[in-house]
Amino acid sequence: MSKIKPFTALRPKPGYADAVASPPFDVLTSDEAREMAKGNPYSFLRVVKPEIDLDPSIGVYDDRVYAMASRNLNELARSVMIRDKKPCLYIYRLTMGGAEQTGLVACGCVDEYLSGKIKKHELTREDKEMDRTRHIEATNANTEPIFLAYRHSDNPGIRERLKASTLNSEPAYDFIAMDGIRHQVWIVGGADEIDGYVRDFQQLPSMYIADGHHRSASAANVAMKRRECGYDPDAEFNFTLYTIFPDIELSIMDYNRVVKDLNGLSSSEFLAKVSRLYTVSASDAPVKPKKPHEFGLYLDRKWYRLALVEDDRISAAPISSLDVSVLQETILTPILGIGDPRSDKRIDFVGGVRGLGELEKRVGSGEMAVAFSLFPTSMGQLMSVADAGEVMPPKSTWFEPKLRSGLFVHMLG
C-alpha cells in the first residue's frame, strides 16, 4: 500500500511560473546556473543553487550558501509566490517532442522510504546527502520534488484519472521553457477527487525512485533528527515532496562515458584488446547503439561500432545484464583500468541529451582520449534492479524531460 497526502504548496503567482521555474540543482554547474539566472531575480536557481548570489570564491558547502537559500526563498515567498490556503494535490504534465508524461504531485511519508516501500536503485554520496540535508534544514522546506515512478499495470486507473482531471479544467500554469519543453499544472482541490487519488495509490504495492536518491535520504535525515524532540506522526517534517509518473510514459536516455587516457596503451593496442571481446566495425557516422550490448567507440576522431561476442562474465542477472555493467566488466576495468567509476577521476559521464557531438568535442579537444556511446537502460531494468534490492552502477540513467524546480515547494512548518 502506497500512501500519499495533499499539502499546501508554496508556488508561483499566476503569470510568474515561467520566470520562477528552473532546472534542478544537479544538472547545472554553478557557473552555468549563474549565467542562466542573470537578469532574472525570480529564478528558483537562487534557492536551489544559492551560491550564484555569492562571490565565486565561496565554497558551495559554506554556511553562507545555506543562509542565502533561506533568504532567497523567503524573498520569493513575499514577492512572486503564494501558498495555497487548503491542502491540494497537483497534476504536472511535461511535453517534449509531442510525447507527454503526466504525473501527480503529492506528499508521502519518509517511513515508506525507510522501510523500503519506496524502492531505490542507487547509492548516495555522503557529501551530497549532507548538502541536501543542510539545505532542507536551512529553508525548512522540500524545495524540489523527488521523481517517482510506479508500474502502470499495478493500477491503470491512476493514469485514466489523471487524464480525466485535466480534460475539463484550465491549467493553473502553462508555459514553454527555454529548452522547448512545455510545462502544465492543474490543481486538484476537491475533497472527493483527492480521496479518489489517495485510494488509487493505496493499491500500489510500491513506488520507485527514478531521480532524487539524495533528496530522499536527506528528507529522512531531517525527519529522524526532528523526531528526537518528540514524535508527532502528522508533523510536516515526516513527509516529503513527490512527483509520481506511470512507468509507461517515462523516457530514459543513454548515459555515455569518456575516459582521459588509454591506460598506457597505444590506439592500435587498445583496439586489439577490444577486438578479442567485440566485433569492431568502422563507421562513417557517429554510432548511436540500436540494441543492448552494442556500443559506439570514438577514438582518434573515428567512430567504431562494437558488437559483443558471447562472454561468460555477462549473465541475465539484473545488474550484470545492464549495458553500463557490460562496458565496465569488459573494457573499462580490464583494459582501461577503471576500478571504481564512482571515485576514479579518469572517467566522466555525459548525458545523452547533450548528443554524440559532445563526445566528439570532449575527445577532439584532447581533454579525453576515448568515448563510448551506450544503449539506454530501460524502466523495466531499473525496476528489476530495485526489486532485487541491488544497486546500479553510477550514472546508469538519464531521464528527460527534467522536472522544473520552483513550481511546488513543501514547507515543513
Q: Quick one: pLDDT at residue 85? A: 97
Nearest to 356 by CA among 278, 280, 254: 254
Cα(144)–Cα(158) distance, integer angstroms: 23
CB atoms within 10 A of CB 219: 26
Cα(62)–Cα(82) distance, integer angstroms: 29
Q: Quick one: pLDDT at residue 318? A: 83
Cα(244)–Cα(150) distance, integer angstroms: 7
Residues of each domain in the chain carrying CATH 3.30.1760: 255-375
Q: Quick one: pLDDT at residue 317? A: 76
Half-sphere exposure of 227 (CA within 13 A, CB side): 14
pLDDT at 315 over 70: no
- 203-212, 310-319, 378-387: the lowest-pLDDT one: 310-319
The answer to whether 379 and 247 have CB atoms below 8 angstroms apart is yes
Q: How does pLDDT run across 142-167, given as a tens digit for each residue?
A: 999 999 999 999 999 999 999 999 99
Residue, of 353 and 238, whose pLDDT is higher: 238
Q: Is residue 42 classed exposed, middle or buried when 0-12, 13-18 and 19+ CB atoms within 10 A define those classes?
A: buried
The amino acid at 284: D
Cα(146)–Cα(137) distance, integer angstroms: 17
Q: How does pLDDT run across 44-72, given as a tens digit for each residue?
A: 999 999 999 999 999 999 999 999 999 99
Q: Show Cβ contacts of residue 215 under 8 Å, excluding neighbours closer than 6 positions.
A: 132, 142, 144, 146, 240
Q: Quick one: pLDDT at residue 168? A: 82
Nearest to 382 by CA among 392, 372, 374, 373: 392
pLDDT at 41 over 80: yes
Q: Quick one: pLDDT at residue 312? A: 61
pLDDT at 314 over 70: no
Cα(351)–Cα(119) distance, integer angstroms: 23
Cα(348)–Cα(369) distance, integer angstroms: 11
As a whole-number percent, the residues of the chain with pLDDT over 70 amount to 98
Q: Quick one: pLDDT at residue 7? A: 98
- Average pLDDT (83-111) is 97
CATH 3.30.1760 assigned to domain 255-375? The reply is: yes
Cα(257)–Cα(275) distance, integer angstroms: 19
pLDDT at 267 over 70: yes
Cα(113)–Cα(158) distance, integer angstroms: 21
Q: How does pLDDT run across 340-388, given as a tens digit for each residue?
A: 888 899 999 998 888 999 999 999 999 999 999 999 999 999 999 999 9
Instruction: Tell me whether strands 173-176 and 302-308 are parallel, antiparallel or unpaired.
Output: unpaired
